[in-house]
Amino acid sequence: MEVVLIFGSLDYILLFLYFLGIATIGIWAGRKQEDTETFYLGKRRMPWFAVCLSILATETSGVTFLGAPGDAFQANFFFLQFAIGSIIARFLIAYLFLPSFYKYRVTTIYEYLKIRFGENSQATAAILYYATRLLASGVRVLAAAIPVSVVTGWNLWLSILVTMSVTTLYTIIGGMKAIIWTDVAQIFIFFGGPLFALLFIVHSVGGWGEVYRIAGPLASDGNHFQIFNFNISLTDPHSILVMIIAGLLMTFAAMGCDYDMTQRMLTCKNKKESQRALILTGFIDVPIVAMFLAIGACLFAFYQKFPDPNLPINTDRILPYFIVTQLPVGLKGLLIAGAFAASMSTISSSLGALSTSAITDIYRPYIVKGRPDRHYLFAARCAIFIISVLFILVTLVLKQFESQILWLGFRIVAFTYGALLGVFLLAVTVKRGSDRINMIAMLSSVLLLICIWRIGEAKPNLQLAWTWYPLVALVWTYGLGFFLAPKPKE
């Protein structure tokens, strides 16, 4: 029997009000954008609590909204091990990287590499960032479109166009101020809806005790609430050692070397406020991720108790399917607005960061020099539009991988994050360094990882878990940059 998915008039009204409200906040917050410093960094006057919430909204994307429940539905809470290393990484960024970024008042973090080493290091790091972020952002766009498509019955590409159109509009008009203040608004929608869904599922199953009985240690396919995996195998990407190291390195690179995250850290009034905002996010993030994983485990219990022959095979579609088939009209719209909020916050951040880096790191120093600031402000807005089109094209390519959406984004960035982290660590820990050697080290590390990946595909017994890739590239990049560079003159 075919399931009829009902998305009522009230749901559409709520979605319309959500889009109207976010666009209004974005346009209002971003008024009076008269120079690039305001457009890029909010005049460096953003309050730290808003920056903190914006970071949370950006890192907790639609991938989390779909992927985390899907992962716990079919497996467990192993993803939560990632948070241990993630918290450690935030302290390292706060006290290793942020002081240098604030000391030189850089617009993009890749400008710091130019100051420290030279133009080759800056351009190479920026290009690796572009390539990685374009692909990873395609995953985010896909994550935003899937629940909307499932719940409303819209074509997937219509869902993508709606998401990208609204996000691109307020980002072009309002810049970083619009991004941060819309993030603040969206984070409450994003977390409020799923929290209600979790409570609704638990109540429907019969309470936490019943949920744990069905999905806990007695579950036929394993404990869905299991957090720790003490397997020490290097080929198991979910073992505790691998996950902690991956959490440390991936967060260290994502928040310290990926301009998507660091851009908003540079908008605070001073270094201390930026450090406070960043460190606090690590502790708030743990219960947020746990909530989404709990939704997945509770959904497993729900469908064990109330079997549904039409349940999607793709677990990333489980939560959207539950929303549309089980929640009453009105609440469906609220939950889908939450899915939109999750992805729009991360997409707007990528649009803003990529355009800022494109103009500051490439266009202004190499292509069109010496023009008035107004010209570069216009160029940044044009870049946002072009990048939004590229996001859509990349999403077309990534559509075939939608069943692996939680880990796909991590696998993509694993190929470049180690190189970026290696060169930034080199910049802040030692005095030596060579601009040309850094460029060679970063590019060769990516080639090395591609070779390792291809060997593992051909010979599974030699396969190295992708979670080790950042460490391999970090050691390679830092090692070459340190040992092949000339010693500094006394």
pLDDT at residue 5, rounded to an integer: 52
**9-406 fold:** Sodium/glucose cotransporter (1.20.1730)
Round to whole Å and give the CA distance between 251 and 60: 13
Residues β-bridged to residue 268: 46
* Alpha-carbon distances, residue 242 vs 135, 199, 430, 465 (angstroms): 24, 32, 28, 9
pLDDT at residue 488, rounded to an integer: 67
Residue range 422-450: mean pLDDT, rounded = 94
Instruction: List the chain domain ranges.
Output: 9-406
Q: Which residues are within 8 A (CB) of 479 and not within 5 positions of it... i.e. 6 or more apart? A: 441
Q: What confidence category does residue 1 fall into, taking pLDDT thresholds of 50, 70 and 90? A: very low
**Does residue 46 sit in helix, strand or coil?**
strand
φ and ψ of 268, to 5 deg: -70, 165
Round to whole Å and give the CA distance between 59 and 254: 9
Q: Could you give the maximum distance between any two Cα atoms of the chain, in Å?
A: 80
Kindly report, residue by residue over 40-83, the tens digit of the pLDDT: 998 899 999 999 999 988 887 666 777 788 889 988 898 888 88
User: Does 241 have pLDDT greater than 90?
Assistant: no
Residue range 227-252: mean pLDDT, rounded = 82
* Alpha-carbon distances, residue 265 vs 5, 276, 358 (angstroms): 42, 10, 19
**Angle, to 10 degrees, between the axis of helix 405-414 and the axis of helix 240-256?**
70
Kindly report, residue by residue over 202-223, the tens digit of the pLDDT: 999 999 999 999 998 988 788 9
Round to whole Å and give the CA distance between 383 and 351: 8
Whether the Cβ atoms of residue 240 and residue 81 lie closer than 8 Å to each other: yes
Round to whole Å and give the CA distance between 269 and 254: 22
User: Does 240 have pLDDT greater than 80?
Assistant: yes
Question: Which carries the bigger pLDDT value, residue 157 or residue 176?
Answer: 176
Round to whole Å and give the CA distance between 124 and 438: 9
DSSP state of 224: T
Cα 99 from chain centroid? 24
pTM for this predicted structure: 0.85
